Each structure stands twice: as C-alpha cells, then as structure tokens.
A and B are shown apart, each in its own frame.
Chain A
Amino acid sequence: MARETRELTCINCPLGCPLTVVLEDGEVISVTGNTCPRGESYGRKEVTNPTRIVTSSVPVDGSASERMVSVKTASDIPKDMIFDVVRALKDVRATAPVAIGDVVLADVCGTGVDIVATKGA
C-alpha cells in the first residue's frame, strides 16, 4: 500500500492551520492539525483535486480606451494545469467590443472551461 503524507496550510482564515493529510493509495485517510471542519474539507480537496481560477489579461484590438482586457477561467481548473492555460493564452487577442463574460477562448486545454473577459473594452 502506498502511503503518502502531505503538509498544507489552511487558507480559510487568518489562523492558517498547518494541516497534515495522510493518503493511502490516493485516498485520504486522515486530516490533522485543523481546528475546524472547514480545515478538514479544505485539506481533503487540496490533496485529491486541487483547483484554481486562473486570471490573466490579453491584448485587445480596436479599443479606443484599452490596450489589454482582463480574463479568467469561467470556473476552477485543475491546479496542475495552470501553466497549460497560460501557454494557451500566449497568442490570444481579443477584438473590441468586448463585454464582461464574453468568451475569449473556448474550452481551454480541453478542460471544458472557457476563458471569459472580466472587463469591457
């Protein structure tokens, strides 16, 4: 049986509890160090399926006011794909007019998640 221990810092509050998560064959068998239940669920998720929102900005053409338009992944993507998403954005440009929520790049890196504008331009 593969046993693995991971050390994390809980992000739910300023307390920043140092969490120890023990996994066996990829299954969480214990979370310790937390002082509240939120810490436990954070610890579980962070070791089994850590995800992040990625934000960035891309150049926009044809806007009188903006050089760049800010963007984000419309929902969380796997944490280990952050750099894949960034690379996918390398040569992406938006064209004005852009409204908040417009899809700038659909289904980024096959995640099923769109890159959407977070600012109008």
Chain B
Amino acid sequence: MAKTIERRDVVIVGGGPAGLAAAISAHEAGQTDILVLERDTQLGGILNQCIHNGFGLHTFKEELTGPEYAARYIERAAELGIEYRLGTMVIDISPERLVTAVSSADGITQVEAGAIVLAMGCRERPRGALATPGYRPAGVYSAGTAQRLVNIEGQMPGREVVILGSGDIGLIMARRMTLEGAHVACVAEIMPYSGGLKRNIVQCLDDFGIPLLLSHTVTRVEGRDRVEAVWIAEVDERMQPIAGTEVRYPCDTLMLSVGLLPENELSRDAGVQISPVTRGPVVDQSLQTSVRGVFACGNVLHVHDLVDYVSEEAAAAGANAARFVAQAQAETEADRGIPVVAEGGVRYTVPSFVSPQLMDDRLTVRFRVANVYRDHFVSVYLDDERIQHRKKRVMAPGEMESVVLRRADLLAREGLQRITVKLEEE
C-alpha cells in the first residue's frame, strides 16, 4: 500500500454494544490509544433498531429502549474522547494484527493493532438455511430485516403476517407489526418450547391474542411473486412434519426468527479457532482467542439474549486487551490453561480455557443448556471433586446461564487437569 500504516494500541472491530463497552473499559483500564471501526453510519449497532423497552435492568436498574441503552455508552465514549470511524468496514485481520478496512471517506486503510477486540455481532439465519420448500417470493423476511424496515425506514413489510420461530426478535416483531396495523396470524415454533423470554411471550403475544404454536413448522411457501400463503404442520419428536396436520394460512408476509449466527468470517481470516457449538471463537479466561492479542466479546463470541451481559462480557474483554498491551505482550503462548468442559446438558462454556495464575479473583463462566430442565443442579467439578452444586427451578436453551469460578479455589488445586460444568438431577 502506498499509504502509511497507522499504529494503535487497541483496535475494536464493531461499534455496537459490545464494541462500545469494550472501548470504554479498555480506556478505563488505562489504554487511551483506542480506535473503534464501525461499518454503519452510526454507533450503537443493532440496538438502534431495537426500539422496544427492557434493556438495562441489570446494568442501570431501569428499563431502557435499545437506542437509549446505546446512547448511555455512546455518551460515555464521547466523554472519554474515544476515537471511532463510521462507514468503515473491516475487510481483513491478519494473524499479526494488521487490520484492513475500507470506507468512502478514506478508501482502504490499514492499522497495526497492539490488541484487537472482535465485536462484530451476529446475523440471522436465513430462510435458505432451513430449506423450506416452496417458492421464493417477496415477503419472506428475517425478523431483523423487517424490524429495520419498520423501525428505521418506517415502512410496512406486509399486512397479514405469519412468524416462524419464537426467538425474541420474532416475538418482539409480532407486537411491533400488530401495533403498526398489521395482523399477525400466529407464531410457529418447531421446538416444544419457545426460545424467547417469558416476558416477551406474555407481552408480545398474549396481550394481543396471537397464538403460539409449539411443535409446528412451515412446510411450504405459496406465491410466486409475493407470499400468498404458508402451510404450517405439526411436527413429531424428530421434528418431522406429521402428515395430515397441514393448515394453510393466507398471508403476505413470512417472518423468520430461527436463530442467530456469530459473524466470524474476519476471525477466520485472522486464524482464530472457532467452536463448532457456539460458532464463535474459542477463548480463555481473558476472552482472548487462539490468536494472541485478539479478544472477542458479545454476539460474535456467542449469541446472548440480554445486552447487559454483552456489556459485562465486553468490559472484561476490553480491560484484558488493555492489559495485554500494557504488559507488552509478555505472556507466553504455550499455556492455554486448563480446559473448561461442558457436559450433561451444558452445550458449551465461555471461556473454554482458564489459567488460574492469570485470571481475576472471580471469573464468570457463561453457558447455555441443551433443553428445558426443571429442578436440576448446576455443578462445577475440579477434576473429580464437585465444588459447586446449585439448584435451579428451571433452565431453558433460550436463557443464558452462568457460574462463577474463584481463583483461590483453582489455585488451591495442584495439578488441576480439567474444570467441568454440568447439570445433575441431584
């Protein structure tokens, strides 16, 4: 490149809730040479279109809307004088932490980073990934796309709506569409339970008499140019449609809320190891990926349901990135630490490695469960010894869980080989 390569201590890829919290935390940890790269024309990420309330109960002890929650962080970043570039999309990250970005304003630019925080968020699973039979007409939208059309553009994607998938965005959009004058016929969910929060089922569906059809899926999309109807069938335990249960729902819109996928194409470019379960980077106690000096947080690491936890996690990643820069990258790569193993109903843990010597006094390990579990115990084992055993009334795949590891406990165990988080019936 003819242009000079900039050098910055901490480069943060993404200016959504994770990126902003990471930037603020890195600054508060003493690294002031921070650059946030954001591809959109404003900071705040997906929160800008999440205009409903319910954000920030943990962090601010009040109920904010998405834009308000984002504004708190944007204002704080501004107070700290954190530099950011909008309309700037990162197109490559090298394992040597050279970040290449493109923007209208500056064309291609390159920044050599002391540490990188990955905070690119996630994307929605599209219809194509479900291979739902039928035509491919206009009127099939992922819930997030519809949310943007309604909330940001002020446009109605349709009048008569069927929603597939009871993830929170789908539930939220059921209410949004209703309040903008559309009719939502039903929400179909292939699983026998909803992936959304109880609060959303009550306030977004029950309040408006919108039926939630559990163990149902869309088996066919009708309409060549624009959606004319969808067919919904009940499914069996193997999630296969049951013959004879198909019902035709005339509609002009099918909205999909069928899962979120961390967006890790850049991480892969950088050589970051990706977990097949979370589809996010494999990280250690400092949320550092398999590439030294590259940290990850928020939905790019694993999909969250509460932004408060994103902020909390991102703050840790930002502080650790700052610490990495301050220690002049003294840590050796050799030891990735003790593996944290997910077992018995625990799908994964973040982090998946812990170095007791390097961790804080307390470390939050977040995880998701594979099914709905009632009256089960969350247990933590250090090798074969159970050190935590906590009963939970209910756990569900839609809600993230966590345990806290104490440094002292881990250090007390000499020759510790593995830490196991699992669910037990008793």
Q: Which A residues form the contact surface with B (CB < 8 A)?
A: 8-16, 35, 52-57, 59, 65-68, 70, 72, 79, 82-83, 86, 100, 118-120
Contacts and interface: CB of A to CB of B under 8 A. Distances in A.
Contacts, number: 83
24 contacts: A8-B202, A9-B201, A11-B198, A11-B199, A11-B203, A13-B198, A14-B197, A14-B396, A15-B198, A35-B393, A53-B53, A55-B53, A56-B179, A57-B51, A57-B150, A59-B154, A67-B152, A72-B65, A79-B207, A83-B179, A86-B179, A86-B180, A100-B71, A119-B67
Nearest to A42: B202
A55 B396 contact: no
A100 B65 CA distance: 11
Nearest to B49: A70
A120 to B, nearest CB: 7
A72 to B, nearest CB: 6
A26 to B, nearest CB: 21
- Most B CB atoms within 10 A — which of A35, A57, A86? A57
Contacts of B53: 53, 55, 72
Contact of B68 (A13, A82, A83, A100): A100
B96 interface: no
Contacts of B41: 65
A64 B322 CA distance: 36
Interface string B41-58: 110000010011100000
Given A72-B53, A82-B207, A15 B65 contact: no
Interface of B: 41-42, 48, 51-53, 63-65, 67-68, 71, 150-154, 179-180, 197-199, 201-203, 206-207, 393-396, 398-399
B198 A14 contact: yes
Contacts of A56: 51, 179-180
Given A15-B394, A35-B393, A119-B48, A70 B202 contact: no
A82 B71 contact: no
Nearest to B401: A14
A86 B64 CA distance: 19
B65 A118 contact: yes
B198 A10 contact: yes
Given A70-B67, A82-B207, A11 B202 contact: yes
A120 B151 contact: no
B199 A67 contact: no
A65 B49 CA distance: 14
A103 to B, nearest CB: 15
A67 B153 contact: yes
Contacts of A54: 179
A67 B154 CA distance: 7
Given A9-B202, A56-B180, A72-B53, 7 more contacts: A9-B198, A11-B198, A13-B393, A14-B398, A79-B207, A100-B68, A120-B71
A57 B149 CA distance: 11
Given A11-B198, A14-B396, A35-B393, A55 B52 contact: yes
A53 B63 contact: yes
Contacts of B199: 11
- Most B CB atoms within 10 A — which of A10, A16, A35, A120? A16
B154 A82 contact: no
A16 B68 CA distance: 28
A10 B197 CA distance: 11
Contacts of A119: 48, 51, 67-68, 71
Contacts of B203: 11, 52
Contact of A57 (B63, B64, B154, B197): B154
| Shortest 5 CB-CB contacts between residues of A and residues of B | A70-B51, A119-B67, A11-B199, A16-B198, A118-B65
Given A11-B198, A14-B395, A52-B203, A68 B65 contact: no
Nearest to B72: A100
B305 to A, nearest CB: 10
Contacts of A86: 179-180
Contacts of A35: 393
